[in-house]
A and B are shown apart, each in its own frame.
Chain A
Amino acid sequence: MTRTAEFVNGLTCPAPAPPTERIQLGHGSGGKLSAALLKDRFLPHLTNPVLRQLGDAAVVPVFTGEIAISTDTFVVNPVEFPGGNIGSLAVHGTLNDVAMMGAVPRFLSAGFVLEEGLEFAVLDRVIGAMAAAALAAGVPLVTGDTKVVERGKADGLYINTTGIGTLDGPCRPAPHRAANGDAVLVSGPIGAHGMAVMAAREGLGFEAEIESDSATLYPLVARLAGRFGGDVHVLRDPTRGGVASALNEIAAASQCGIVLEEDALPIQGSVAAACEMLGLDPLYVAGEGVMLVILPARHAEAAVADMRSHPLGACAACIGRVVADHPGMVVMRTGIGGTRVVDMLPGDQLPRIC
């Protein structure tokens, strides 16, 4: 190359974007880098006929009847953890919220806030997991958006997802429908997601790795809705705040009391051990692949059996009952035969000194 050619190349305007392995601010410019980001990083994973139109909005068929809409924003640190990542979580979390209304999840949207410097390798894994989760759930991601913020202004990436579902049958669960004489069931072991993320974030180095339980719960909902219909009084996935907070909200909304049996609570050994070490109560730790089911006690046994016949519900159990006493309050009968109140926490659980 001559000196002139070097000089000319050096002054080429606009400056050619060097090949990069990380998100740059330019990826949020709306220009060529933005288009390339969409084409190279998102569409290969997420393509479907609606999204492929790349219009300003997704155009989808209208259903008769009612729809359920839920939106949720995911800000997990670290973005990858044993059992999943923020992408799979953003799909499961929102679809589960839709399913907890007794709705059939139909469509998903996603908004991404990407931090300058985020590695493409990480982004690829996140979008890949997102696509796999959406595919497994049979729900297409029909519209989306990306924004890029300066390094230091976000924790890698944040994702907002909105889910739309249709209410097709008589199953209309709601927290205020819990009634005296109902049974309280849980579909699987509690607290796995929260402890998996905490162990990954803090580098706690437990010998047994704890995996997040993040999963789409609709298959279990479909079974229960199909068999028990309107008798499914409440469905709730105990995410932030765990089983304790979810049941307190249900007790408050229904003005019933709830009695839990400590011995009946399914908890994985590794989760229980990690909680013991840190002085945390698994009742307040998030799960992302379990749900609470409240329905008349006469259905309890059949509902547990139904859930157990699906791998997601293999550890389903009846953990308590709804009573007329102590309205608005959750009480637990302890393993040694005492009782205690299970209240809401004022904030996050904090690890104990000793």
Chain B
Amino acid sequence: MKYLAEYRDGTMARGIAAQIRRTATRRWVLMEVCGGQTHTIVKQGLDELLGDSVEMIHGPGCPVCVTPLEQIDKALALAARPDVIFTSFGDMLRVPGSECDLLQIRARGGTVRIVYSPLDALALAARNPEREVVFFAVGFETTAPANAMAVWRARELGIRNFSVLVSHVTVPPAMVALLSDPANRVQGFLAAGHVCTVMGWKEYEPIAAGFKVPIVVTGFEPLDILEGIHLAVRQLEEGRHEVENQYARAVTREGTVPARTLVERVFQLVDRKWRGIGEIPASGLALREEFAEFDAERRFRLGAITVEEPVECRAGAVLRGQLKPHQCPAFGTRCTPEHPLGAPMVSSEGACAAYYNYGRFRTAQPAEAP
């Protein structure tokens, strides 16, 4: 496949991995922020190529995993209403709320549809004027522009039966929170290429300088990730801490200005709770006041709710990189993709699900040191 096969070449991958092993004089601890990168690493077995040179910690960049339980419960409440067509990206459907998930709501008679773009949800609203269409607007800066566009278009077209349940989060505040944690072990980051395609990397420069950590904007294919790791290891070996751009074919320092501008016009920064991590100041996006009529929480008067996570789920420690998924006592026994205790076991980008689906054979080998 053009533009993909080139980045999956086995010979080149082994060549870069050998370079990384030669460059590293000690074992470095890096975090890939994005769940898409975690997915590639575990699915392709990239970590096997690295030997002892690098330990990869899987970061909190899975939008499904960090969407707080409260928001999932609100989604379930909306989806159960007979007047609502609830629309969502596919992988939110199996995420467990306090009592059930969206698939079960659908089985009980709720109208829940998978869409591939928020604009499809808007079109659904235009075709079904007698129903309320709600879109579950989750994700990082990557999905924010399309969601902002859907709200913008809804206002422009005067589509009043469309609203969004927003649970957007942003990456840089989460990195700051991780680095400020006294238990932090991360020495360098692979920043999420798609997030930076939208946002650029200017906002990462003060983080790299302030915490003295290398940050490499990295793509999602095996060669991207290996090259990103190599650049980060080289910085660490040379005592540098800069923002470097591995994903030059998609990312510029400024990002995609029209997309960023639209996000800024529709959304504003708010404090946001992250599932498993807790509240991080100014880490979320919410609709600005002038778009309040498209806010599903206001339209349907969903009050504030507080719910408790299952005590046994160690998702917080996994998402902070303090615990490898298979080190969790419930992993693979009381917590499986069929019966997940927490979101990281559900999403295809979740670290626990990636370990379970792709890694069980390896982790069944003599256990690696925790």
The residues of A with any CB-CB pair to B shorter than 8 Å are 202, 204, 263, 269, 272-273, 276, 278-279, 326, 329, 331, 334-341, 343, 345-347, 350-354
Contacts and interface: CB of A to CB of B under 8 A. Distances in A.
A276 B4 contact: yes
A340 B47 CA distance: 11
Interface string B316-345: 000000000000000000001110000000
Given A339-B45, A340-B43, A341-B357, A279 B348 contact: yes
A351 B8 contact: no
B269 interface: no
Contacts of A337: 10, 13-14, 45, 48-49
Interface in B163-194: 194
A244 to B, nearest CB: 10
B49 A352 contact: no
Contacts of B48: 337-339
B63 interface: yes
B277 to A, nearest CB: 18
B13 A336 contact: yes
A336 B194 CA distance: 23
B335 to A, nearest CB: 12
26 contacts: A202-B116, A326-B361, A335-B8, A335-B9, A335-B10, A335-B44, A335-B222, A337-B10, A337-B49, A338-B46, A338-B48, A339-B48, A340-B43, A340-B44, A340-B361, A343-B357, A343-B358, A343-B360, A347-B94, A351-B114, A351-B116, A353-B64, A353-B139, A354-B63, A354-B142, A354-B194
Given A202-B116, A346-B338, A334 B44 contact: yes
Contacts of B337: 345-346
A340 B45 CA distance: 6
B255 interface: no
A288 B338 CA distance: 27
Contacts of A269: 1
Given A339-B45, A346-B338, A329 B361 contact: yes
B40 to A, nearest CB: 10
A334 B13 CA distance: 11
Contacts of A335: 8-10, 44, 222
Given A204-B116, A278-B116, A279-B348, A351 B359 contact: no
A352 B348 contact: yes
Contacts of B364: 326
A354 B36 contact: yes
B90 interface: yes
B207 interface: no
Main DSSP-derived SS at the A contact region: loop
Interface residues of B, number: 47
Contacts of A329: 360-361
A336 B46 contact: yes
Contacts of B160: none
Of B92, B142, B337, most A-chain CB atoms within 10 Å: B337
B299 interface: no
A352 B89 contact: yes
A186 B323 CA distance: 40
Given A336-B8, A337-B13, A353-B92, 13 more contacts: A204-B116, A329-B360, A329-B361, A334-B44, A337-B45, A337-B48, A338-B45, A340-B42, A351-B91, A352-B349, A354-B36, A354-B142, A354-B194
Nearest to A277: B116
B143 interface: yes
A101 to B, nearest CB: 30
A62 to B, nearest CB: 45
B114 A350 contact: yes
A352 B93 CA distance: 11
A273 B2 CA distance: 9
Contacts of A347: 94, 103
A273 B1 CA distance: 7
Interface string B92-119: 1110000000010000000000101000
Of A263, A350, A351, most B-chain CB atoms within 10 Å: A350
Nearest to B357: A343
A337 B91 CA distance: 29
Contacts of A350: 90-91, 93-94, 114, 348
B26 interface: no
Interface in B266-282: none
B362 interface: yes
B138 interface: yes
B143 A354 contact: yes
A345 B357 CA distance: 8
Of A269, A278, A329, A354, most B-chain CB atoms within 10 Å: A354
A329 B338 CA distance: 18
B49 A331 contact: no
B104 to A, nearest CB: 12
Given A335-B10, A340-B359, A347-B94, A354 B139 contact: yes
B31 to A, nearest CB: 19
Contacts of B94: 346-347, 350
Given A336-B46, A337-B13, A331 B143 contact: no
B156 to A, nearest CB: 23
Contacts of B140: 354
A351 B338 contact: no
B326 to A, nearest CB: 12
Given A276-B4, A350-B348, A352-B90, A341 B359 contact: yes
